[in-house]
Structure 1
């Protein structure tokens, strides 16, 4: 089943060229970057609309014409990149004036069109959905206020969720079957994940059709005993409202999650036993229509099991068991081949690699090997017996696209340039569209054959390149720095008129979360322009990826296990001290900033590193892991009951008295992820320690703090002024 949900935008294909664009001109302009330009879209890249690969050598796009106000789903050829046909046009839909999402059934004879979306959490939303028959052009309503509709493989039905229950609509008689009836807000959820699964396991739809359309497997969440979290929403009325939802904080009760099987012929549901487990983070049907594979995890998340579930018998047998001294990652790379052998990725060698198993769970072979990480699995071409993947074989800050035979031979680099390459393969794996960028080159979209021949440049960012040549843009200087016995990746941005005989204040930026990466050879995000603006003002900005970050092997990433933020903080403090030895760094004016996990880090670094850091900004920080969710936190720390020291010894709430420098604390009160409770408790700790600090509490904003007129401009103006006053001006 192919699904796409995107914002409606216009696809503007550039003239196709065989040669890819060169990097930015080394000449430096005279214009200075302004905050207004960063947030009004001046430096936005020209992007391709998200495409949906179709059967054969075709893909589809959702397009919107501003002049006619028509929304269309259009079909394109990979070979020519030309439009072949318009599949549906909103002007021809009598009961649907506009739509903003679409998904095909398997044989691409029908579409599900969605509109009127209402966002719930990060990935989830409700909407109104219609079924559209392409041949007859007939449109029929599936439902309003529903979630995650999906066609059955036989194209005769659609399953969806509404009000915490699952329904099936049969197009033959227009009848609706209610699969579950016990759904209740903040108690029972059928077929849709709870908050913590959505946020940490990264999926929303928790029901799947069998290949023969006879069975529907689904997860049931009983969150009755999960503690409730509530937030006041100020809004625009006279009285605030409350957002109330179940949020399991570290050490608290999770939802009781169970696997169920609904059989359409009998209209009966069976509960499937899976032994002892805490989580069911994935379910997926194999190529045997009667065999579902369910993934389970224990609460420590270091014991993963794959179970073969027989839909006819209702029993489960163990297929694969993988354990780790720290934790096992969850991904979507499980792929069943024609004989039901399967592809699986694992870190069991110390680096993430691709493995091939038979359907009894016996290892056939390890396909990729080496002291480098596979970072994405794209698919398997059964005719060529070839696998396509992305990895860091050409350096941990780069990404390349590769092919390799199923037996591990004939590995080939398909992407052409050093930097970050991301592939979107056609369904039949004959072509891929490569998105390439580097720290010097904005995104270039190019069409490649699966053999690595670059056919056409689809879109490039020449206009942005030309525009930026007028600005004082400082390049990122990539290097490594040896800290606490580890060689860490680093970038640095210096003022355009840098003079090594002068002294400059230093601002360090980081995120530092487990498996993350900020030092990467890729094009600018908004923060990179802000950092360049600060460099124009006379600061040096640097970023160091310390222990616990990703793509350098399991041992490096998991070295922070049970002591989250301890070693990461030590690395930032040590890096600051080492950089302070450089003649051009003002050792008395060194700051650090970060968001979310990075806000926790900047707070810790200022307090524990008060002999080197003088200034810090923390945006939406965790200040105690006791306040964060079970799945994420316990993966790295276990529970507070088992590991109280791991939670408390690295919580800045417990050593607020160490504050000596300048501290700006920022949080949105509508943050359902990192609750503002974190900043409120930090505020109380600082007050009790009689410490002065700056604070910016933003009503109703979620974790990203972006909604509303001028929100980001206002926030970054405040942060810029804070840094100028407390870092830049003190060096001058």
Structure 2
């Protein structure tokens, strides 16, 4: 039945152009900024397989309801059915926690722990409590299930069902005798010496306590953690060691407040938000509880190679440089990650200044760390499979008892490596000027499944590769991007696929790495987009390269009108580290549709992956280090010059717009390159990087109190005097990411400078990502008006 529906949809797509035009007609802001689920459709998300590999589950909303629902595609009947709530509640949750034989899988659902057999798919519920249980794992002998409840670790013996508490963490400090050698002790000893009855009663009480203590000897040691927070409680496969992290929050770190004006109560309500970059950070400690010895000891990091290395940027500050004197940098230890037999463990150690990542062998008995691999970056550690923050472990796991795999940007691109933890031998499993963007190790640990962009930076394809490296076999072939979920038996692939002008749809395909079928082709399961959306011929923008001033190639998408009006608009994507000049459906789909609307009116539109965009390796990723608004802006300026040269664009008729980081670049463009851009719309922009969050900003600009030069160079508010042309600013007033305070401060600066060619549109009920169609419509009507009037 579903195939009949699909064929009907395809037939409708072949209607005459005149009939199509009657459906959507001329694009307008009002049309394209409507609620997308009601007129575009909703792509499938959250893809998961049934345990028997016969059904694909996914969230979907083909009926334009208020929210998505769970659907299932049955591979045998090839039908899609909506999953009833009662059935949905019984479905196992996702996890990748198997016993050694891959015979059983653990998962947590609704705060309880479940066990499912991979042979007959029978489910056994292990806990049913009000408190939440989480992070279940098998013990090294597969006889117990270990999990976290509250602050503590517990185990359940699978055969008997015995529940045992493994740790007894307590907040605060253990109460001690406040005056052990003073007045109270004197009085107590005097009383016992004077009264025989008291002496006899105390002896009986002490004898009883001795018996009770002996009976409780198997109970875990009380471990007091003071006022610190406890995370990452893990037990070794042999049960001998429990590792955990203690974090001391710095109470001097001041949080910001975001006022919320439009509320149900009628009163202004404050939203407690994040701290600002440079605020005092938390201290992290890594501890080991040796169960056999009944001791707790902190792991020392002072001997980590390079722990006192001074970052290069401090050379710009003589006082800071001379005062360094072998300062030990703060680090966070992630892990440990254990081999199956429990004989080897590794940890990921990352410096909080983001300039170092150490992979180290960890011995919990001796509390020693041995260097296996160090990646140092004077900008900051990051990239696919590596992560950009101190709490990131990145991609890591054991191939066999002695060999780990991980990703590194050692060559300038994120690639996959293996390393023998006993010999220290490291092997590059992939190489080249491309990125490995996702890694999955097969259950038998003989095959890696990879997603890379080696065909083109704007494409993502799925490959299989022997675990020892060697030739990669490309499995997907259609132009675009592929997100792949392997079935539990690894014989089939559920693929979310899209093209630049076609939203994500769900496909299923045999896994040729297992079936060895040479003719395996993806079969489409869902048809999500509406006929109204399909009625417009959405453009596939041309992906081009533009030569930057410093000789680098900038990848970009150009939208070409049939008849140019001599005007151009540059769209600047947000997030900084994000890719948009690609060949799949953009998360900026509203901007994509707006760009189509601009082109319909004769504008040429350019969308660049400027410096710091993702997908192009380490040097591109870190091209903005200590100067945001430097090469990222000149890349956009070079794009404007390219438009003038190649498309005959009038140099005085170029506009620019973007949100978040794109709003920041728009401000920097109008303030520091005022002769390039005649008009710009800065949406929810950062105006002063010293006001943004710590994890993101400190990576790129260090901290404002230690690298003030970087912040001064990078913050638009210092360049506001350079505004010559027309500026529109739009910002949500309850934005907890880039605070509304940013544009309030900039507004005051523009007022004091006497600027009168700018305006601010405020949205009282919007956060950083707008939700309401009315807000989107108002915002883009203003952008459209700006370009029409000022270009």
TM-score computed with the length of structure 1 as normaliser: 0.79
Q: Superposition pairs for residues 51-200 of structure 1, below 5 Å? A: 51-52=47-48, 57=53, 61=57, 80=76, 91=86, 106=98, 108=104, 111-114=107-110, 129-131=111-113, 140-143=127-130, 149-153=135-139, 159-160=147-148, 165-166=151-152, 168=154, 172=161, 179-182=168-171, 188-191=228-231
Which is further off, 261-270 or 281-290?
261-270
Aligned residue among 448, 468, 474 for 1:387: 448
Q: Is the 8 A contact 1:215 1:263 kept in 2?
A: yes
Counterparts of 2:450 and 2:658 in 1: how far apart (Å)?
31
Q: Is the 8 A contact 1:16 1:456 kept in 2?
A: no
Report whether the alignment pairs 1:483 with 2:548.
yes
* Aligned residue number for residue 719 of structure 1: 779
Q: 1:320 to 1:480 in 2, by over 3 A?
A: closer
Counterparts of 1:212 and 1:338 in 2: how far apart (Å)?
17
Report whether the alignment pairs 1:253 with 2:280.
yes
Which is further off, 393-402 or 664-673?
664-673
Return the offset for 1:65.
Answer: 12
Report whether the alignment pairs 1:227 with 2:253.
yes
Report whether the alignment pairs 1:694 with 2:749.
no
Counterparts of 2:73 and 2:104 in 1: how far apart (Å)?
14
Aligned residue among 276, 284, 289 for 2:342: 289
* Aligned residue number for residue 184 of structure 2: none
Q: Is the 8 A contact 1:296 1:305 kept in 2?
A: yes
Aligned residue among 228, 250, 272 for 2:299: 272
SS of match in other structure, 2:476: coil
Aligned residue among 688, 692, 702 for 1:624: 688
What is the CA deviation profile of residues 133-183 of structure 1, one whole-angstrom value per residue up to 9, with x for unaligned ones? 675876854445x58554555585564465xx4564758456777743339
* Aligned residue number for residue 578 of structure 2: 516
Return the offset for 1:104.
Answer: 7.9
Q: 1:23 to 1:339 in 2, by over 3 A?
A: farther
Return the offset for 1:369.
Answer: 1.7
Counterparts of 1:111 and 1:85 in 2: how far apart (Å)?
25
Aligned residue among 247, 256, 264 for 1:236: 264
SS of match in other structure, 2:613: coil
Q: Superposition pairs for residues 568-587 of structure 1, below 5 Å? A: 568-581=632-645, 585-587=649-651
What is the CA deviation profile of residues 676-725 of structure 1, one whole-angstrom value per residue up to 9, with x for unaligned ones? 3322322222222122322233346433232xxxx2x2232222222232
Return the offset for 1:519.
Answer: 0.2
TM-score computed with the length of structure 2 as normaliser: 0.74
Q: Is the 8 A contact 1:210 1:290 kept in 2?
A: no
User: Quick check: which one's strand share is greater?
Assistant: 1
* Aligned residue number for residue 220 of structure 2: none
* Aligned residue number for residue 685 of structure 1: 749
Q: Is the 8 A contact 2:344 2:401 kept in 1?
A: no
Q: Superposition pairs for residues 35-46 of structure 1, below 5 Å? A: 35-36=30-31, 38-40=33-35, 41-42=37-38, 44-45=40-41
Counterparts of 1:434 and 1:15 in 2: how far apart (Å)?
22
Counterparts of 1:237 and 1:289 in 2: how far apart (Å)?
57
Report whether the alignment pairs 1:32 with 2:26.
yes
Structure 2 residues not aligned, in runs of 5+: 117-121, 173-223, 308-328, 388-393
* Aligned residue number for residue 704 of structure 1: 769
Q: Is the 8 A contact 2:153 2:233 kept in 1?
A: no
Return the offset for 1:605.
Answer: 1.0
Q: Is the 8 A contact 1:345 1:355 kept in 2?
A: yes
Counterparts of 1:258 and 1:593 in 2: how far apart (Å)?
45
Q: 1:155 to 1:55 in 2, by over 3 A?
A: farther
Return the offset for 1:265.
Answer: 7.8
Q: Is the 8 A contact 2:678 2:790 kept in 1?
A: no
Return the offset for 1:261.
Answer: 3.7
Return the offset for 1:390.
Answer: 1.4
* Aligned residue number for residue 380 of structure 2: 327
Report whether the alignment pairs 1:360 with 2:413.
no
Q: CA RMSD in A?
A: 4.3
Structure 1 residues not aligned, in runs of 5+: 1-11, 115-128, 192-205
SS of match in other structure, 2:545: strand
User: Quick check: which one's helix share is greater?
Assistant: 2
Aligned residue among 524, 539, 544 for 2:603: 539
Counterparts of 2:631 and 2:280 in 1: how far apart (Å)?
29
Q: Is the 8 A contact 1:442 1:461 kept in 2?
A: no
Return the offset for 1:228.
Answer: 2.2
What is the CA deviation profile of residues 506-550 of structure 1, one whole-angstrom value per residue up to 9, with x for unaligned ones? 221113655421101002533212322333344332201222223
Instruction: Indicate the structure (1 or 2) with the bigger Cα radius of gyration.
Output: 2
Counterparts of 2:574 and 2:434 in 1: how far apart (Å)?
20
Q: Superposition pairs for residues 437-516 of structure 1, below 5 Å? A: 437-444=498-505, 445-451=507-513, 453=517, 455=520, 457-460=522-525, 462=527, 464=529, 467-484=532-549, 485-495=551-561, 498-500=562-564, 502-503=565-566, 505-511=567-573, 515-516=577-578
Counterparts of 1:582 and 1:26 in 2: how far apart (Å)?
35
Counterparts of 2:272 and 2:743 in 1: how far apart (Å)?
20
Counterparts of 1:225 and 1:640 in 2: how far apart (Å)?
20
Return the offset for 1:351.
Answer: 1.9
Return the offset for 1:615.
Answer: 1.9
Q: 1:109 to 1:393 in 2, by over 3 A?
A: closer
